[in-house]
Amino acid sequence: MTFDPETTTFLIAGPVRIHPRVLRAMSMPSLNHRGDYFHGIVQEIRELLPVLFGAKGRQVILSGSGTAGLEATYSALLPKDGRTLVLKNGNFGDRTHEIARRYSTNVTTLEAPWGRALPLDDAKAELAKGDVRAVCVVHNETSVGLANDIASLAPSVKASGALFLVDGISAVAGIPVKIDAWGLDAVVAGSQKGLAAPAGLAIVHLSERAVAALHPGTFYLDLAAHLKSLEKNDTPWTPAVPLFLALREALVLLKEEGLENRLERTHRLAEATRAAVDALGLELFPDPRYASDTVTAIQNPAGMGDLELRKVLERQYNVLVQGGQGALTGKIFRIGHMGIADWPDLLITFAALERVLGKAGRVRTPGASLRAIVDRMP
């Protein structure tokens, strides 16, 4: 089957499927981004953004990917002299580490193997020393399908006085991110994950403390310049207009569903996915206690690589799931179930998996994975 983007079951770990209303929003003709009409759109977006973060605060929209949001945040908030603590246990943790080292000369890195829980006790010990000025962590590590327990770390960060800077790219609108309760100072969201808008925008939530601490970052991504413009419903540089139009519509959709309902649906889909994985006799890749609700990372069955499993799903059943990154290529596959993913997506995905594994004589109890899904439907 030739790949057809119009009919594919699209369950990669992001970008996620985009609602047709959001796609259509981008087909509006050109707008003057310095005119009242566009300013009105930006104002609507600003009024809707607290729905995305579940918190009020200062929020910045950057015309760039999540990586742009991270660089904007770290370049403007990492201490030039004081110590930065980076925690990592996956590919995106590596990215945070790489950016942090560009903007902070004193970085302490604590890591766990990919897919294992962060060494939070070690982190707390570092924080207790009192000289850490900023903590950087990826909340939801998409590369290994793991959600880091930043709630447990939050009191120690708060007590230390360090800025708490969180890569929430695949967490926001996917898993609970309790910005106020946990005292998060910066949360970077991406447009193409839980929000289910197209890729290309980063949205950064900042605490008042973070706003006060901003220093000049890069020119294009300077958070202070963006904050200042946004107060006038403007942007310092030319915005990616179609992506702003899509962002507005995706936020309206999220508001219609409600953030809590989206998180609940995502969680329920994740529980069903994990139960179906178990019913098929497959194993999760990450520590199951920390399995992410937005993306499930599954070990390939022995002897079956990408060609035997993931590529068959794609070519034969028009189901697109994602492979592993880096050293995990061919070792795991990942099913994204965030954004507007829904039950039909899971049913066809696991039907196809049952069929492929069944043909290979690897299904113990035929139909069990589908029954596991049905049992977890609302």
Residue 136 pairs in a beta bridge with 86, 165
* Stretch near its own copies under the rule CB under 8 A, chosen from 77-85, 175-183, 237-245, 257-265: 237-245
- From 86, 146, 203, 241, residue interacting with its own copies (rule: CB under 8 A): 241
Q: How many residues does the chain have?
A: 378
Residue 234 phi, psi dihedral angles, 5° rounding: -130, 175
CB of 28 to its own copies, least distance (A): 6
Amino acid identity for residue 164 in this structure: F
Total chain residues near its own copies (CB under 8 A): 56
- From 57, 79, 239, 286, residue interacting with its own copies (rule: CB under 8 A): 239
Residue 32 is a binding residue for its own copies (CB under 8 A): yes
Tell me the C-alpha distance between 162 and 157, whole Å. Answer: 6
- From 168, 200, 286, 324, residue interacting with its own copies (rule: CB under 8 A): 200
Tell me the C-alpha distance between 166 and 68, whole Å. Answer: 14
- From 115, 190, 194, 286, residue interacting with its own copies (rule: CB under 8 A): 190
Residue 198 is a binding residue for its own copies (CB under 8 A): yes
Site string for its own copies, 1-30 (x = CB under 8 A): --x-xx-x-x-x-xxxxx----xx-xxxxx
- From 36, 81, 344, 364, residue interacting with its own copies (rule: CB under 8 A): 36
Tell me the C-alpha distance between 118 and 116, whole Å. Answer: 7
- Work out the number of other CB atoms within 10 angstroms of the CB of residue 296: 28
377: left (phi over 0), alpha (psi -120 to 50) or beta: beta
326: left (phi over 0), alpha (psi -120 to 50) or beta: left
Residue 328 is a binding residue for its own copies (CB under 8 A): no
* Stretch near its own copies under the rule CB under 8 A, chosen from 51-59, 174-182, 191-199, 352-360: 191-199
Question: Is 66 or 79 the residue whose CB approaches its own copies more closely?
Answer: 66
| Cα-based distances in Å from 32 to 19, 59, 239 | 26, 23, 10
Residue 176: name the closest of 206, 156, 148, 207 by CA: 148
Residue 213 is a binding residue for its own copies (CB under 8 A): no
CB of 24 to its own copies, least distance (A): 6
Residue 289 is a binding residue for its own copies (CB under 8 A): no
First CA to last CA distance, the chain: 33
CB of 12 to its own copies, least distance (A): 5
Site string for its own copies, 106-145 (x = CB under 8 A): ----------------------------------------
Buried/exposed 245-284: b ≥16 CB within 10 Å, e otherwise: bbbbbbbbbbeebebeebbebbbbbbbbbbbbbebbebeb
Structure tokens at 75: 């370049």
Residue 290 is a binding residue for its own copies (CB under 8 A): no
Question: Is 141 or 354 the residue whose CB approaches its own copies more closely?
Answer: 141
CB of 311 to its own copies, least distance (A): 10
Residue 42 is a binding residue for its own copies (CB under 8 A): no
Amino acid identity for residue 286 in this structure: P
Site string for its own copies, 64-93 (x = CB under 8 A): xxxxx--x---x------------------
Residue 187 phi, psi dihedral angles, 5° rounding: -130, 120
Residue 219 is a binding residue for its own copies (CB under 8 A): yes
CB 266 within 8 A of CB 194: yes
Q: Please tell me whether residue 335 adopts helix, strand or coil conformation.
A: strand
Using CB under 8 A, list all residues that contact its own copies: 3, 5-6, 8, 10, 12, 14-18, 23-24, 26-37, 63-68, 71, 75, 98-99, 102, 190, 192, 198-201, 218-221, 237-243, 246, 320, 322
